[in-house]
Structure 1
Amino acid sequence: MNDLAAQNIAVASVRRHSMTPDQWSHTVIGCIHPKLASLADLLPSELPIASGVISDASWWFISTRRVVSQHEGARRELDPRHGVEHEFGNFKGIKRSESPSAPSTSVATVTSLKTKESVQFEFETGKASMAPIYACMFWSRVTAFHHGGPEA
């Protein structure tokens, strides 16, 4: 697998489907969120697709090799290169908190098609939700980068 090619395709897809990423509070595309830099231990040749930080105890990143999260006191990761299923629940952020300053978040579940392992993470809803959604869609749709895919 070519990590740079995977990153280029995935990040382009995320950007194509995103609106006003410069206004997002907790989510970035194509890099590791600055607040996550000391926690995100990228593997050799691994490249980020999207990442987000809700708090020190709640963060995630999706890369060319892994989906990694810290959620409800547990750090989990899975290899998406066998394909994934994903559920993003209330990604639009409907029925947001009464407090306008409170971040609107929901919880995603990403499951490996091969191992059936799951990772959950809290993500920013609304327009910013397109980053983790389309990063996961890359791993569910673009089979050329899957282990055992045509060019894997």
Structure 2
Amino acid sequence: MVGYWKDDEVNGFATIYKPDGSKLYEGNIKDKKYNGEGTFYVKSGGKIVGYWKDSKVNGYATFYNPDGSKLYEGNLKNSEYNGYGTFYYTNGSKYEGNFKDDKYYGYGTFYWANGDKYEGYYKDGTRNGQGNLYYVNGNKYEGSFKDGLFFNGTLYDINGKTVEN
């Protein structure tokens, strides 16, 4: 461990190394915990860059995959996605919107890699409430969702005509 020491403890900026010599954490430490801005290096090769409080991510952070691409950027509370953020899937899909306790919650937009898009409300990670689903072929569903399924809405074709069930 390399850093600023006070009373035989690291306080301030420090770099902590794993037994193999690679970095584990680089950033501010206070009272033996990650506190303030810092970077945590994940075992898989990814990293988390953000703000820490008592060794948990709190505030804005960015998670990176081992290849350097983003996995998540946004707000966290006690190391859980909370508040506004964007989650990137490796297949090219992504979610932009609100999170609560690591789940999609409130208003958000999900973009599928194939070009389909959902804009609307979520509860506990599932589409719930008012929303619109836009298909890459031009069709569109407007209405409500319940537990992720169509509920009390209308499906329209590319010309705006109602599609019969």
Instruction: Identify the TM-score tier after normalising by the shorter chain.
Output: under 0.3
Indicate the structure with greater helix content.
1
Indicate the structure with greater strand content.
2
Based on CA coordinates, which of the two structures has the bigger radius of gyration? Answer: 2
Relative contact order higher in (CA < 8 Å, ≥ 6 apart)? 1
TM-score, scaled relative to structure 1 = 0.28
